[in-house]
C-alpha cells in the first residue's frame, strides 16, 4: 500500500505538475526520506507556508535537492493541484448545447445587463479584474505571484497604505508577515530608494488571464482609469495616459 501511494504521488508530481522529483529511500536519524525535489521548485512550492519548518535551512539540502517525506510532498503540491485542475477546466472546450435547450441560451444572451454605475462610489470604483482577485483572496485561495503583485500595486495606487495592504493579506492561509511586508514595501518603492512599481495595464492583465472585462470597463486601457471616465467625461486620451506615471530612480 505504501509503495503504491508513493508511486501515485510520483506520477502526479512528474506527469501532472511537470516537476522534477526523484524517489529515494534514505534514513537520517529518526527521519525516513522518500523523495528528492529540486531546491528551486521546492522554494516556489513552499513560499506561501508560514512556518520555519518549511524553510530550506531546516531541511536536508544536498547537491541542489531537498530531502522530503511523502506526506510533505503531498502538502507541497496540494495548492498546485487545485490551480492545475481549475486551469484545465477553464481550458476545456464548452460542450455543445442540446437543441432542445438552445432557446435558453437566447434568453440568457438577450437579458439586459445590469446597469453600469455612473458615479464612483466606494464599492464600484474597483474594476472587475481587481474585484476578482480580491474575491479570490477573501475566499482564502492562494494567489499567484503576479496576482499578488497586481493587487498590491493596485491597492497602493488607489490610496491604501502599506499597513492596510499587509493587513488585507494577513488572512491568507500561509501568510508570512516578514515576506509580505518585504514584498509590499518593495512594490511601494520603500526599499532601496526605488520608486513605486506601476499597476499593470489591461493588455498585460488580459495576457495573464486576469481580465474580466464587462461593460463597465467601457473601452479603458488601464485599470486605474476605471470609473474615472464617468467623472471626467471630456478628458483627452493624452490626459488619460498621465494616469500611468513613468518613473525612474
Partner 1 sequence: MKKVLIEKDTFLKKTFKKYYYGFITKLRVPSRLPEREIGYLTFSPERMVRHLALKSEGELRALILHEVPKALYYSSAYYDDPSAPINERIWKGADLIFDIDLDHLPYEENLMTSFYICPICKNMFDNLINKNCPNCNSQTIEEVKIATKKGLESCKKEIIKLTEILEKDFGLLKDNFCIYFSGKRGYHLTVEGSKYEIADQPFRIELSDYLTLNGFKINRILNENISIEQQIHQFPSPWERGWLGRFSREYIKSTFSDFINHDEDSFRKILLSILSSSKHENLLSSLESIKKRLSVKIDVAVTTDVHRIFRMPDTLHGGTGLVKKKVDEIDKFSPLTDAVVLSDEPTKIHVLYSPKLELKDTFYGPYKNEDITLPEYVATFLVAMGLAQTIENS
Stretch that binds ligand SF4, among 28-36, 53-61, 98-106, 126-134 (CB under 6 A): 126-134
Stretch that binds ligand SF4, among 9-17, 64-72, 153-161, 204-212 (CB under 6 A): 204-212
Stretch (H or E) spanning 91? helix 70-91
From 210, 214, 83, select the one nearest 146 (Cα to Cα): 210
Is position 186 an interface residue for partner 1 (rule: CB under 8 A)?
Answer: yes
Backbone angles phi, psi at 201, to 5 degrees: -85, 175
User: Do the Cβ atoms of 72 and 40 come closer than 8 Å?
Assistant: no
C-alpha span between 74 and 51 (Å, rounded): 17
Q: Which is nearer to partner 1, 5 or 47 (CB)?
A: 47
- Please choose which of partner 1, ligand SF4, none residue 186 contacts, taking the beta carbon within 5 to 8 angstroms, the exact cut-off set by kind: partner 1
Do the bridges between strand 61-62 and strand 21-28 make them parallel or antiparallel, or are there none, so unpaired? Answer: unpaired
Starting at the edge strand found earlier in the chain, the sheet holding 31-38 runs: 21-28, 31-38, 65-68, 61-62
| Residues in 198-237 that interact with partner 1 by CB under 8 A | 198
Stretch that binds ligand SF4, among 10-18, 140-148, 208-216, 241-249 (CB under 6 A): 208-216
- Please choose which of ligand SF4, partner 1, none residue 217 contacts, taking the beta carbon within 5 to 8 angstroms, the exact cut-off set by kind: ligand SF4
Is position 57 an interface residue for partner 1 (rule: CB under 8 A)?
Answer: yes
C-alpha span between 96 and 56 (Å, rounded): 49
Please state the closest distance from residue 65 (CB atom) to partner 1, in A. Answer: 8
Between 162-169 and 145-157, two packed helices, what is the crossing angle to 10 degrees? Answer: 140
Stretch (H or E) spanning 26? strand 21-28
Of positions 66, 76, 151, 205, contacts ligand SF4 by CB under 6 A: 205
Please state the closest distance from residue 114 (CB atom) to partner 1, in A. Answer: 36
Is position 129 an interface residue for ligand SF4 (rule: CB under 6 A)?
Answer: yes
- What is the DSSP annotation of 29-66? TTEEEEEEEEHHHHHHHHTT--SGGGSGGGS-EETTEE
Of positions 212, 229, 230, 244, contacts ligand SF4 by CB under 6 A: 212
Is position 202 an interface residue for ligand SF4 (rule: CB under 6 A)?
Answer: yes
| Residues in 9-38 that interact with partner 1 by CB under 8 A | 28-30
Q: Which is nearer to ligand SF4, 117 or 173 (CB)?
A: 117
C-alpha span between 243 and 214 (Å, rounded): 21
Stretch that binds partner 1, among 59-67, 118-126, 134-142, 224-232 (CB under 8 A): 59-67
What does the binding site for ligand SF4 look like in residue numbers (CB under 6 A)? Answer: 127-129, 202, 205, 211-213, 217, 220, 223, 226
Amino acid at each position: 500500500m505504501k509503495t503504491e501511494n508513493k508511486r501515485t504521488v510520483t506520477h502526479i508530481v512528474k506527469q501532472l505538475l511537470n516537476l522534477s522529483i526523484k524517489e529515494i529511500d534514505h534514513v537520517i536519524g529518526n527521519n525516513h526520506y522518500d523523495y528528492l525535489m529540486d531546491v528551486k521548485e521546492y522554494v516556489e512550492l513552499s513560499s506561501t507556508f508560514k512556518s520555519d519548518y518549511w524553510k530550506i535551512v531546516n531541511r536536508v539540502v544536498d547537491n541542489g535537492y531537498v530531502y522530503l517525506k511523502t506526506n510533505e510532498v503531498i502538502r507541497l503540491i496540494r495548492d498546485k493541484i487545485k490551480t492545475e485542475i481549475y486551469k484545465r477546466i477553464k481550458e476545456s472546450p464548452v460542450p455543445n448545447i442540446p437543441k432542445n435547450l438552445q432557446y435558453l441560451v437566447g434568453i440568457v444572451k438577450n437579458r439586459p445587463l445590469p446597469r453600469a454605475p455612473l458615479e464612483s462610489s466606494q464599492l464600484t470604483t474597483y474594476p472587475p479584474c481587481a474585484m476578482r482577485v480580491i474575491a479570490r483572496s477573501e475566499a482564502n485561495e492562494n494567489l499567484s505571484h503576479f496576482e499578488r503583485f497586481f493587487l498590491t500595486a493596485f491597492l497602493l495606487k488607489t490610496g491604501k497604505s502599506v499597513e492596510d495592504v499587509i493587513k488585507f493579506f494577513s488572512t491568507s492561509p500561509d501568510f508570512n508577515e516578514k515576506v509580505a511586508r518585504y514584498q509590499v514595501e518593495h512594490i511601494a518603492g520603500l526599499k532601496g530608494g526605488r520608486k513605486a512599481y506601476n499597476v499593470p495595464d489591461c493588455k498585460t492583465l488580459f495576457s495573464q488571464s486576469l481580465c474580466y472585462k464587462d461593460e463597465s470597463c467601457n473601452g479603458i486601457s488601464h485599470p486605474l482609469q476605471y470609473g474615472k471616465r464617468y467623472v471626467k467625461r471630456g478628458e483627452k486620451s493624452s490626459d488619460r495616459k498621465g494616469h500611468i506615471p513613468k518613473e525612474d530612480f
